[in-house]
Amino acid sequence: MKLLEVQNLKVSFRSRKEELNAIDDISFSINKGETVALIGESGSGKSVTSLSVLGLLPKNGRVVGGHIFYENKDLLRLGKKELGKIRGKQISMIFQDASISLNPSMKIGKQITQGLAYHRIIARKELKREALRLLAKVGFHKPKEVFNQYPGQLSGGMKQRVLITMAISCNPQLIIADEPTTALDVTTQKQILDLMNDYKQSTNTSILLITHDFGLVAEYADRVMVMFGGKIVEAADVFTLFKKPIHPYTKGLMNSIPKIEEPRNHLQTIKDAVIEETAYEGRIFAPETFSADEKVYHSPSTLIEVEPGHHVRFFNESSEVLIR
Amino acid sequence: MRLAIWKQPQFLIGSFILLSMIILSFMSPLFFDPPQEVKYLYEDGKLVDVAPFSPSQVPPFGTDKFGRNLLTLLINGAKYTLLIAIVIAVFRVFLSGLFAIVYHHYNVKLRPLLEDLVESTIFVPTSILAYLLLAPLAVKQAQEGIGFFEIVVIQCIILIFIGVPPLISIFSKDMGRITRKEHIVSTLSLGAKHRYVYIKHVLPEMGSRFLLVIAQQIIQVLILLAHLGVLLIFLGGVKTILDGDLLSTHEVFVSLTGEWSGLIGNNFQEIVHSPHVILVPLGFFSLTIFSMNLIINGMQNTMKKIERGAGS
Ligand SMILES: Nc1ncnc2c1ncn2[C@@H]1O[C@H](COP(=O)(O)OP(=O)(O)OP(=O)(O)O)[C@@H](O)[C@H]1O
Ligand SMILES: [Mg+2]
């Protein structure tokens, strides 16, 4: 059953009179209880996609087309009030950098109960007890202590746990995790993701896992979408994609999986990688879908289902090639 | 802020100096007689000197050109000077804070226009702007006579409003910066209403900003007052008296409140012969600004500590 369905989403940013397309015609869906990964290098549009879902785009960004259906409601056409009811309670977010995603001068206890308080899920005097329960649930041994602490007194991993606590506080159906562990060391990263995974399995929650790390995708996701330049270039279930990646960009990304032992640097872009194949089974890949080079041909491209559930973006031969 | 600020020695020392000046000033009528005008100094029945007298003749700071003891005058004037500066600074920040909230919240379309307007006024020196607005008032007072209280209020209102536009622009930029912060987006993603976010997240963060800017504005106002004093604009207006010997009288403006800038203005002609009449009031201005700077540093240190996350 489809929980979230994004159809032909287009988002653009206005910067100095210029209109810039950040998301170009993206479609995907997430089923109940499923973890879907959105992977792509920095700047490919992952965060913009996730912010669009909850209507949290920065002021200079706007959705220029498409639909985002959640339980048969188009989130893009909901009023402020209705959207407010969905945020946190139905769909919640975990942000990338916990050190800036928590208010440094508000106590942890107060921050994690904000959602419960707005949505009036439980009585005000129950808030503290619920907060302590949640903190214990995400693995804090001394919830009472943490309740009264400020974010600055916690380590990075602990702060990320606090963010998770906030995100699960209202029992959402869908959690959008935008690179929830990028700022953490490998061991802590695993603990955090295991925590999310356990939560997901015990509650049948769906997760949209945004990452640029194929290693995490293999371990935690059911399906994967590979994104580049605001477009999805390949999408399939995890097994298919790992066994038989087709698009050159996907292959490049896979080869750049960082080794566990190596220090984790922000994912290197793959523009230096040599693209050997230019076609698959007679279909040509559109150059713009794997090269960030300004001078490449800009050619209309479409997603084509090469086998059931496996979509790849190819050059659309029925259209003209545009030269930028 | 709250508790941590009281652990900042700079903040404590600055506040101590300021508070003692104000308290002394209010209590001064108990210790000192009202300053006497002693214009001529006789020795053995012979006239040896006329006011202003130097600090060695009348310790510790000498007298002004009317022969009034400078120390007494300065302590007496401290309450007006400091309180008026504080009142003007507080109102400037309060009003611009309010405007900034409204401005930041509502008029998205008008904003670029307003921003240009504000930017263009920032480069006009405030003292010139203030002089242009206050001078006609002084003329009117001289011609028609305006009540003392009335004129103080009008002057303050003018001084408040000329400081507001640049502050609105600063505050609304601050708010823009805060509302783009990740933790605000994170709070919104939980379903918080914009009003809640303003009250619980944006305003508390602005709160410490407001206090800091009040302190900075106090300094700005003091400097502005000193400039206006030189230009013979005194808070509370002036009375015109005749000065000089019986044969060659001329009109002199005297500050009614005795606040410090008035002293500077009254005595400015003496700067070459008796620099102390200007330097001493300027010294008091400097001491005040120094203590305000200590206070500001203390506040900034505390804020930095909180940013770094030590809590309070
Ligand atoms: N506020 C903004 N103003 C203008 N352009 C923006 C803004 N935010 C994002 N963009 C543009 O949208 C594109 C996608 O950005 P996005 O933040 O979604 O990337 P991302 O895939 O999340 O990258 P990362 O891995 O670094 O988080 C970028 O090319 C960026 O230039
Ligand atoms: Mg991102």
> What's the A46 CA to ligand 2 centre distance in angstroms?
6
Helix axes B276-308, B70-105, angle to 10 degrees: 40
Which residue in A174, A129, A169 sits closest to B192, CA to CA? Answer: A169
With 70 as the cut, is the pLDDT of residue A261 above it?
no
Hey, what are A316's tokens? 């659309």
Q: Which of A162-171, B186-195, B270-279 bottoms out in mean pLDDT, i.e. has the lowest? A: B270-279
- Non-local CB neighbours of B186 within 8 Å, separated by 6+ positions: A93, A95, A101, A102, A163, A166
Q: What is the pLDDT of residue B248?
A: 56
Mean pLDDT of A99-122: 89
> Quick one: what percent of chain B has pLDDT higher than 70?
86
> Quick one: what percent of chain B has pLDDT higher than 90?
20
d(CA A236, CA A305): 10
- Non-local CB neighbours of B27 within 8 Å, separated by 6+ positions: none
CATH code where residue B98 lies: 1.10.3720.10
Highest mean pLDDT among A96-100, A242-246, B114-118, B151-155: A242-246
Complex ipTM: 0.84
Of residues A56, A118, A169, nearest to B196 (C-beta): A118
Q: What is the pLDDT of residue B157?
A: 94
3-state secondary structure (DSSP) of residue A135:
helix
Q: What tens digit of pLDDT does each residue of B133-183 get?
A: 888 888 887 777 777 788 889 999 999 999 888 888 888 888 888 888 889
Highest mean pLDDT among A16-20, A296-300, B20-24, B237-241: B20-24
Band (B39; pLDDT cuts 50, 70, 90): confident
Q: What is the pLDDT of residue A152?
A: 87
Whether A40 is in the pocket of ligand 1, judged by its Cβ within 6 Å, is: yes
Mean pLDDT of A102-125: 89
Cβ pair A104:B182 closer than 8 A = no
Cβ pair B190:A88 closer than 8 A = yes
Residue pair B18/B291 in contact by the 8 Å Cβ criterion:
yes
Identify which has the larger pLDDT, A243 or B52.
Answer: A243
Averaged confidence pLDDT in chain B: 82
Q: List, as ranges, residues 162-181 from B with C-beta within 8 Å of A.
A: 180-181
For A2-100+174-315, CATH number? 3.40.50.300
Whether A154 is in the pocket of ligand 1, judged by its Cβ within 6 Å, is: no
With 50 as the cut, is the pLDDT of residue B129 above it?
yes
Q: Which residue, judged by its Cα, is nearest atom 26 of ligand 1?
A: A42
Nearest CA in chain B to A111: B187
What domain range includes position B99?
4-311
What is the number of residues in chain B? 312
Of residues B193, B201, B312, nearest to A84 (C-beta): B193
Q: What is the pLDDT of residue A269?
A: 46
Question: Best of A46, A209, A213, A216 to mutate for ligand 1, by most ligand atoms within 8 A of CB?
Answer: A46
Give the ligand 1 atom nearest the CA of A96: 27
Band (A50; pLDDT cuts 50, 70, 90): very high
With 70 as the cut, is the pLDDT of residue B57 above it?
yes
Q: Which residue, judged by its Cα, is nearest atom 29 of ligand 1?
A: A43
Helix axes A127-137, A156-168, angle to 10 degrees: 120
- Non-local CB neighbours of B297 within 8 Å, separated by 6+ positions: B8, B10, B11
Residues of A whose CB is below 8 A from B311: 105, 107, 149-150, 152-153
Residue pair B273/B292 in contact by the 8 Å Cβ criterion:
no
Q: What tens digit of pLDDT does each residue of B247-256 get?
A: 555 556 666 6
d(CA B178, CA A163): 19
Q: What is the pLDDT of residue A267?
A: 44
Q: What tens digit of pLDDT does each residue of B204-242 get?
A: 888 888 989 999 999 999 889 888 888 888 877 666 666
Domain extents for chain A?
Answer: 2-100+174-315, 101-169
Band (A56; pLDDT cuts 50, 70, 90): very high
Q: What is the pLDDT of residue B238?
A: 67
Q: Which of A74-88, A115-129, B65-79, B97-111 bottoms out in mean pLDDT, i.e. has the lowest? A: B97-111
**CA triple B98-B181-B201, angle to 5 deg:** 50
B193 touches chain A (CB under 8 A): yes
Query: Alpha helix locations (H) across A72-185?
Result: 80-86, 98-101, 108-112, 114-118, 127-137, 143-147, 156-168
Q: What is the pLDDT of residue A297?
A: 62
Whether A203 is in the pocket of ligand 1, judged by its Cβ within 6 Å, is: no
For residue A64, give how far its alpha carbon lies from the nearest alpha carbon of chain B (Å): 20
d(CA A322, CA A160): 45
Q: List, as ranges, residues 267-306 from B with C-beta within 8 Å of A.
A: 306
The model scores a pTM over 0.80: no
Binning chain B into helix, strand and coil, the percentages to the nearest 5 are 70, 5, 25
B109 touches chain A (CB under 8 A): no
Cβ pair A87:B310 closer than 8 A = no
Mean pLDDT of A133-154: 90
Whether A16 is in the pocket of ligand 1, judged by its Cβ within 6 Å, is: no
Residue pair B207/B217 in contact by the 8 Å Cβ criterion:
no
Of residues B188, B306, B311, nearest to A87 (C-beta): B188
Residue B208 vs residues A112, A137, A196, B198: alpha-carbon distances, Å: 24, 35, 37, 15
Tally the domains of chain B.
Answer: 1
List beta partners, residue A303.
Answer: A313
Of residues A58, A85, A101, nearest to B191 (C-beta): A85
Q: What is the pLDDT of residue A94?
A: 92
Cβ pair B183:A103 closer than 8 A = yes
Cβ pair A105:B182 closer than 8 A = no
